[in-house]
Structure 1
Protein backbone atom coordinates (compact mmCIF):
# COMPACT_ATOMS: atom_id res chain seq x y z
CA UNK A 1 0.00 0.00 0.00
CA UNK A 2 1.50 3.40 -0.92
CA UNK A 3 2.30 5.78 1.89
CA UNK A 4 -0.30 8.42 2.57
CA UNK A 5 0.53 11.68 4.34
CA UNK A 6 -2.44 10.91 6.58
CA UNK A 7 -0.96 7.59 7.77
CA UNK A 8 0.96 7.70 11.04
CA UNK A 9 3.74 5.15 11.37
CA UNK A 10 3.48 2.58 14.16
CA UNK A 11 6.39 3.35 16.52
CA UNK A 12 8.76 0.38 16.82
CA UNK A 13 11.72 2.08 18.54
CA UNK A 14 11.41 5.34 20.45
CA UNK A 15 13.90 8.17 20.11
CA UNK A 16 15.33 7.21 23.52
CA UNK A 17 15.77 3.56 22.53
CA UNK A 18 17.48 4.58 19.29
CA UNK A 19 19.94 6.69 21.31
CA UNK A 20 20.61 3.83 23.74
CA UNK A 21 21.33 1.42 20.90
CA UNK A 22 23.66 3.89 19.17
CA UNK A 23 25.62 4.41 22.40
CA UNK A 24 25.89 0.66 22.98
CA UNK A 25 27.09 0.08 19.42
CA UNK A 26 29.68 2.87 19.73
CA UNK A 27 31.04 1.16 22.87
CA UNK A 28 31.36 -2.06 20.86
CA UNK A 29 33.08 -0.37 17.90
CA UNK A 30 35.44 2.04 19.73
CA UNK A 31 38.03 -0.57 20.85
CA UNK A 32 38.36 -1.88 17.29
CA UNK A 33 39.19 1.42 15.56
CA UNK A 34 41.55 4.38 16.00
CA UNK A 35 41.48 8.11 15.32
CA UNK A 36 42.86 7.54 11.81
CA UNK A 37 39.74 5.54 10.93
CA UNK A 38 37.55 7.02 8.21
CA UNK A 39 33.83 6.77 8.85
CA UNK A 40 32.16 6.37 5.45
CA UNK A 41 28.49 7.33 5.55
CA UNK A 42 26.23 5.83 2.91
CA UNK A 43 23.97 8.59 1.69
CA UNK A 44 21.24 9.42 2.01
CA UNK A 45 19.70 7.16 4.63
CA UNK A 46 22.85 6.59 6.67
CA UNK A 47 23.29 10.29 7.48
CA UNK A 48 21.23 10.28 10.71
CA UNK A 49 22.89 7.15 12.12
CA UNK A 50 26.38 8.23 11.00
CA UNK A 51 25.98 11.60 12.72
CA UNK A 52 24.86 10.05 15.99
CA UNK A 53 27.40 7.22 15.85
CA UNK A 54 30.40 9.45 15.15
CA UNK A 55 29.37 11.75 18.03
CA UNK A 56 28.96 8.72 20.32
CA UNK A 57 32.42 7.49 19.26
CA UNK A 58 33.82 10.96 20.00
CA UNK A 59 32.38 10.84 23.52
CA UNK A 60 34.36 7.59 23.94
CA UNK A 61 37.58 9.24 22.77
CA UNK A 62 37.49 8.06 19.14
CA UNK A 63 37.67 11.08 16.84
CA UNK A 64 37.26 9.48 13.42
CA UNK A 65 37.57 11.21 10.08
CA UNK A 66 34.43 11.51 7.97
CA UNK A 67 33.59 10.82 4.34
CA UNK A 68 30.52 9.76 2.38
CA UNK A 69 29.48 7.64 -0.56
CA UNK A 70 26.23 8.34 -2.31
CA UNK A 71 24.89 5.08 -3.64
CA UNK A 72 21.39 4.54 -5.01
CA UNK A 73 19.68 1.17 -5.27
CA UNK A 74 16.07 2.03 -4.40
CA UNK A 75 15.13 5.40 -5.89
CA UNK A 76 11.63 6.11 -4.60
CA UNK A 77 10.63 2.45 -4.75
CA UNK A 78 9.94 0.07 -1.85
CA UNK A 79 12.04 -2.69 -3.40
CA UNK A 80 15.65 -2.64 -4.58
CA UNK A 81 16.14 -1.94 -8.27
CA UNK A 82 18.73 -4.75 -8.26
CA UNK A 83 21.65 -2.51 -9.15
CA UNK A 84 23.69 0.10 -7.34
CA UNK A 85 24.48 3.46 -8.90
CA UNK A 86 27.39 5.56 -7.56
CA UNK A 87 26.17 9.16 -7.48
CA UNK A 88 29.11 10.60 -5.49
CA UNK A 89 32.40 8.89 -4.72
CA UNK A 90 34.77 9.09 -1.77
CA UNK A 91 36.69 12.33 -1.20
CA UNK A 92 39.15 11.32 1.55
CA UNK A 93 42.20 9.07 0.97
CA UNK A 94 41.69 5.61 2.47
CA UNK A 95 44.98 3.96 1.54
CA UNK A 96 46.33 2.06 4.54
CA UNK A 97 43.55 3.24 6.86
CA UNK A 98 40.68 1.49 8.59
CA UNK A 99 37.27 2.33 7.15
CA UNK A 100 33.97 2.10 9.02
CA UNK A 101 31.09 2.01 6.53
CA UNK A 102 27.88 3.27 8.15
CA UNK A 103 24.35 2.75 6.82
CA UNK A 104 20.84 2.95 8.22
CA UNK A 105 19.48 -0.47 7.25
CA UNK A 106 20.49 -3.65 5.47
CA UNK A 107 17.87 -5.32 3.28
CA UNK A 108 19.38 -7.09 0.27
CA UNK A 109 22.93 -6.04 1.19
CA UNK A 110 23.55 -4.65 -2.30
CA UNK A 111 24.53 -1.11 -1.21
CA UNK A 112 26.68 -2.26 1.70
CA UNK A 113 28.44 -4.84 -0.47
CA UNK A 114 29.12 -2.28 -3.21
CA UNK A 115 30.38 0.25 -0.64
CA UNK A 116 32.71 -2.37 0.83
CA UNK A 117 34.09 -3.12 -2.63
CA UNK A 118 34.63 0.58 -3.38
CA UNK A 119 36.35 1.16 -0.04
CA UNK A 120 38.60 -1.85 -0.63
CA UNK A 121 39.42 -0.60 -4.13
CA UNK A 122 40.37 2.77 -2.54
CA UNK A 123 43.05 0.96 -0.55
CA UNK A 124 41.56 0.63 2.94
CA UNK A 125 43.73 -1.67 5.05
CA UNK A 126 40.71 -2.90 7.01
CA UNK A 127 36.98 -2.40 6.56
CA UNK A 128 34.21 -2.66 9.13
CA UNK A 129 30.51 -2.23 8.40
CA UNK A 130 27.89 -0.91 10.80
CA UNK A 131 24.15 -0.66 10.26
CA UNK A 132 21.48 0.53 12.61
CA UNK A 133 18.82 -1.96 11.49
CA UNK A 134 19.20 -5.40 9.99
CA UNK A 135 16.02 -6.71 8.42
CA UNK A 136 15.47 -10.44 7.97
CA UNK A 137 16.15 -11.63 4.45
CA UNK A 138 15.03 -14.92 2.88
CA UNK A 139 18.30 -15.68 1.07
CA UNK A 140 21.97 -15.25 2.03
CA UNK A 141 23.24 -11.71 1.53
CA UNK A 142 26.44 -10.79 -0.28
CA UNK A 143 27.70 -9.24 2.98
CA UNK A 144 27.01 -9.58 6.69
CA UNK A 145 27.49 -6.36 8.71
CA UNK A 146 30.17 -6.40 11.40
CA UNK A 147 28.05 -4.30 13.76
CA UNK A 148 24.27 -4.15 14.07
CA UNK A 149 22.38 -1.96 16.54
CA UNK A 150 18.95 -3.55 16.05
CA UNK A 151 17.56 -6.73 14.53
CA UNK A 152 14.49 -5.25 12.85
CA UNK A 153 11.26 -7.01 11.97
CA UNK A 154 10.26 -7.68 8.36
CA UNK A 155 8.22 -4.49 8.06
CA UNK A 156 8.44 -1.34 5.98
CA UNK A 157 10.57 0.93 8.19
CA UNK A 158 10.59 4.73 8.24
CA UNK A 159 12.31 7.36 10.33
CA UNK A 160 15.91 7.76 11.47
CA UNK A 161 17.03 7.97 7.85
CA UNK A 162 14.65 5.39 6.40
CA UNK A 163 12.02 6.80 4.07
CA UNK A 164 8.84 6.38 2.11
CA UNK A 165 9.58 7.94 -1.30
CA UNK A 166 11.82 10.52 0.36
CA UNK A 167 9.40 11.36 3.19
CA UNK A 168 9.62 10.62 6.93
CA UNK A 169 13.44 10.26 7.04
CA UNK A 170 13.67 12.94 9.74
CA UNK A 171 11.50 11.18 12.29
CA UNK A 172 13.57 10.80 15.48
CA UNK A 173 12.16 7.31 16.05
CA UNK A 174 11.75 4.23 13.87
CA UNK A 175 8.27 3.37 12.74
CA UNK A 176 6.57 0.97 10.39
CA UNK A 177 4.24 1.69 7.49
CA UNK A 178 2.47 -1.55 6.73
Structure 2
Protein backbone atom coordinates (compact mmCIF):
# COMPACT_ATOMS: atom_id res chain seq x y z
CA UNK A 1 0.00 0.00 0.00
CA UNK A 2 1.39 3.42 -0.93
CA UNK A 3 0.20 6.58 0.81
CA UNK A 4 0.85 10.20 -0.03
CA UNK A 5 2.18 12.22 2.89
CA UNK A 6 3.39 15.83 3.05
CA UNK A 7 5.44 17.26 1.54
CA UNK A 8 4.35 15.42 -1.63
CA UNK A 9 6.46 12.41 -0.69
CA UNK A 10 5.12 8.89 -1.02
CA UNK A 11 5.87 6.30 1.61
CA UNK A 12 5.35 2.59 1.01
CA UNK A 13 4.16 0.66 4.02
CA UNK A 14 6.64 -1.89 5.37
CA UNK A 15 4.91 -2.80 8.66
CA UNK A 16 1.26 -1.82 9.11
CA UNK A 17 -0.35 -0.55 12.31
CA UNK A 18 -2.17 -3.86 12.99
CA UNK A 19 1.01 -5.91 12.53
CA UNK A 20 2.94 -3.56 14.84
CA UNK A 21 0.20 -3.67 17.50
CA UNK A 22 0.07 -7.48 17.49
CA UNK A 23 3.85 -7.78 17.76
CA UNK A 24 4.01 -5.29 20.66
CA UNK A 25 1.31 -7.18 22.54
CA UNK A 26 3.27 -10.42 22.15
CA UNK A 27 6.52 -8.74 23.23
CA UNK A 28 4.85 -7.33 26.33
CA UNK A 29 3.75 -10.78 27.43
CA UNK A 30 7.26 -12.15 26.95
CA UNK A 31 8.86 -9.20 28.77
CA UNK A 32 6.62 -9.58 31.81
CA UNK A 33 7.19 -13.35 31.88
CA UNK A 34 10.96 -12.80 31.77
CA UNK A 35 11.48 -9.63 33.83
CA UNK A 36 8.51 -9.54 36.18
CA UNK A 37 6.13 -6.71 36.87
CA UNK A 38 8.26 -4.10 38.69
CA UNK A 39 10.23 -2.24 36.02
CA UNK A 40 11.77 1.10 35.21
CA UNK A 41 11.06 1.80 31.56
CA UNK A 42 13.55 4.18 29.95
CA UNK A 43 12.52 5.38 26.50
CA UNK A 44 15.26 6.77 24.29
CA UNK A 45 13.91 9.91 22.63
CA UNK A 46 12.87 11.02 20.13
CA UNK A 47 12.29 8.07 17.83
CA UNK A 48 11.00 5.59 20.40
CA UNK A 49 8.08 7.66 21.67
CA UNK A 50 5.34 5.78 19.79
CA UNK A 51 6.83 2.34 20.44
CA UNK A 52 7.39 3.20 24.10
CA UNK A 53 3.82 4.46 24.60
CA UNK A 54 2.25 1.40 22.99
CA UNK A 55 4.63 -1.01 24.73
CA UNK A 56 4.06 0.57 28.14
CA UNK A 57 0.29 0.26 27.76
CA UNK A 58 0.69 -3.37 26.65
CA UNK A 59 2.96 -4.07 29.65
CA UNK A 60 0.23 -2.64 31.90
CA UNK A 61 -2.33 -4.98 30.32
CA UNK A 62 0.03 -7.86 31.20
CA UNK A 63 0.18 -6.77 34.86
CA UNK A 64 3.39 -4.73 34.91
CA UNK A 65 3.87 -1.62 37.02
CA UNK A 66 6.36 0.49 35.11
CA UNK A 67 8.01 3.65 36.35
CA UNK A 68 8.58 5.63 33.16
CA UNK A 69 11.50 7.92 32.39
CA UNK A 70 13.13 9.34 29.30
CA UNK A 71 16.64 9.77 27.99
CA UNK A 72 17.76 11.70 24.93
CA UNK A 73 21.06 10.70 23.39
CA UNK A 74 22.78 11.76 20.22
CA UNK A 75 25.53 10.28 18.10
CA UNK A 76 24.48 11.89 14.84
CA UNK A 77 24.82 15.64 15.23
CA UNK A 78 23.51 17.24 12.04
CA UNK A 79 24.42 14.32 9.79
CA UNK A 80 22.73 11.09 8.78
CA UNK A 81 25.57 8.81 9.88
CA UNK A 82 26.76 8.18 13.41
CA UNK A 83 29.75 10.19 14.58
CA UNK A 84 30.68 7.34 16.92
CA UNK A 85 30.54 9.61 19.98
CA UNK A 86 27.43 9.57 22.16
CA UNK A 87 26.24 12.60 24.08
CA UNK A 88 23.52 12.73 26.75
CA UNK A 89 21.14 15.54 25.80
CA UNK A 90 18.53 14.66 28.46
CA UNK A 91 19.16 12.30 31.34
CA UNK A 92 16.74 10.26 33.43
CA UNK A 93 15.73 11.44 36.88
CA UNK A 94 14.56 8.09 38.28
CA UNK A 95 16.92 6.17 40.56
CA UNK A 96 17.78 2.79 39.00
CA UNK A 97 20.00 1.29 41.69
CA UNK A 98 18.88 -2.26 42.42
CA UNK A 99 16.07 -2.07 39.84
CA UNK A 100 15.28 -3.89 36.62
CA UNK A 101 15.45 -1.42 33.74
CA UNK A 102 13.83 -1.92 30.35
CA UNK A 103 15.65 0.29 27.85
CA UNK A 104 13.26 1.06 24.97
CA UNK A 105 14.40 2.29 21.54
CA UNK A 106 12.95 2.44 18.07
CA UNK A 107 15.78 0.99 15.98
CA UNK A 108 19.10 -0.72 16.56
CA UNK A 109 21.65 -0.09 13.84
CA UNK A 110 25.27 0.64 14.86
CA UNK A 111 24.49 -0.12 18.51
CA UNK A 112 26.68 2.68 19.87
CA UNK A 113 23.87 4.67 21.44
CA UNK A 114 22.15 1.72 23.08
CA UNK A 115 25.44 0.20 24.29
CA UNK A 116 26.33 3.56 25.85
CA UNK A 117 22.90 3.86 27.54
CA UNK A 118 22.99 0.27 28.80
CA UNK A 119 26.50 0.71 30.23
CA UNK A 120 25.51 4.03 31.85
CA UNK A 121 22.44 2.53 33.56
CA UNK A 122 24.43 -0.51 34.69
CA UNK A 123 27.14 1.77 36.12
CA UNK A 124 24.43 3.55 38.11
CA UNK A 125 23.65 0.28 39.86
CA UNK A 126 20.73 -1.16 37.90
CA UNK A 127 20.33 -4.82 38.85
CA UNK A 128 19.53 -5.67 35.24
CA UNK A 129 19.24 -3.65 32.04
CA UNK A 130 17.28 -5.36 29.27
CA UNK A 131 16.97 -3.82 25.83
CA UNK A 132 13.95 -3.81 23.56
CA UNK A 133 13.88 -2.34 20.08
CA UNK A 134 11.06 -2.24 17.60
CA UNK A 135 13.42 -2.69 14.65
CA UNK A 136 16.82 -4.31 14.40
CA UNK A 137 19.24 -4.05 11.48
CA UNK A 138 21.84 -6.70 12.38
CA UNK A 139 24.11 -5.96 9.40
CA UNK A 140 24.75 -2.41 10.63
CA UNK A 141 26.25 -3.29 14.03
CA UNK A 142 29.46 -1.43 14.94
CA UNK A 143 29.54 -2.51 18.59
CA UNK A 144 28.51 -5.63 20.46
CA UNK A 145 24.98 -5.35 21.84
CA UNK A 146 22.22 -7.89 21.53
CA UNK A 147 18.71 -6.72 22.40
CA UNK A 148 16.69 -9.18 24.45
CA UNK A 149 13.38 -8.18 22.81
CA UNK A 150 13.08 -7.34 19.10
CA UNK A 151 9.90 -6.41 17.28
CA UNK A 152 11.10 -6.98 13.72
CA UNK A 153 14.35 -7.65 11.91
CA UNK A 154 14.35 -4.85 9.38
CA UNK A 155 15.87 -4.87 5.91
CA UNK A 156 18.66 -2.35 5.32
CA UNK A 157 16.30 0.44 4.25
CA UNK A 158 15.82 3.98 5.51
CA UNK A 159 12.52 3.76 7.39
CA UNK A 160 10.14 6.44 8.60
CA UNK A 161 6.90 6.57 10.53
CA UNK A 162 5.79 5.29 13.91
CA UNK A 163 8.14 7.75 15.60
CA UNK A 164 11.01 7.58 13.09
CA UNK A 165 11.72 10.59 10.94
CA UNK A 166 13.44 12.06 7.94
CA UNK A 167 14.39 15.68 8.59
CA UNK A 168 11.81 15.83 11.42
CA UNK A 169 8.97 14.67 9.13
CA UNK A 170 6.85 11.51 9.10
CA UNK A 171 7.09 10.64 12.84
CA UNK A 172 3.28 10.79 13.11
CA UNK A 173 2.57 8.02 10.60
CA UNK A 174 0.77 5.06 12.23
CA UNK A 175 2.86 2.57 10.23
CA UNK A 176 6.53 2.02 9.39
CA UNK A 177 7.35 2.77 5.79
CA UNK A 178 10.03 3.38 3.24
CA UNK A 179 10.18 6.62 1.28
CA UNK A 180 9.74 5.99 -2.41
CA UNK A 181 12.39 7.39 -4.76
* TM-score after normalising by structure 2: 0.91
Is the 1:155–1:177 Cα contact (8 Å) retained in structure 2? no
Equivalent position of 1:168 in the other structure: 170
- Matching of residues 118-129 of structure 1 within 5 Å: 118-129=120-131
Is the 1:78–1:164 Cα contact (8 Å) retained in structure 2? no
- Matching of residues 19-98 of structure 1 within 5 Å: 19-98=21-100
Q: Which residues of structure 1 form unaligned runs of 5+?
A: none
Equivalent position of 1:144 in the other structure: 146
SS of 2:32 mapped into structure 1: helix
Closer, same or farther in 2 for the Cα pair 1:8/1:87, shift >3 Å?
Answer: same
Size of the aligned set, in residue pairs, is 175
Closer, same or farther in 2 for the Cα pair 1:165/1:75, shift >3 Å?
Answer: farther
SS of 1:117 mapped into structure 2: helix
Q: Which residues of structure 2 form unaligned runs of 5+?
A: 1-5
* TM-score after normalising by structure 1: 0.92
Moved over 6 A (4+): none
Equivalent position of 1:109 in the other structure: 111
Note the C-alpha offset of 1:138: 4.8
CA RMSD of aligned residues (A): 1.5
Note the C-alpha offset of 1:167: 1.0
| CA displacement 1:12-44 (0-9 Å, x = unmatched) | 011111101111111111112233310010011
Closer, same or farther in 2 for the Cα pair 1:24/1:66, shift >3 Å?
Answer: same
Tell me which moved more, 79-88 or 54-63.
Answer: 79-88
Note the C-alpha offset of 1:64: 1.0
Tell me which moved more, 11-20 or 34-43.
Answer: 34-43
SS of 2:10 mapped into structure 1: coil
Cα distance in 1, alignment partners of residues 140 and 65 from structure 2: 37
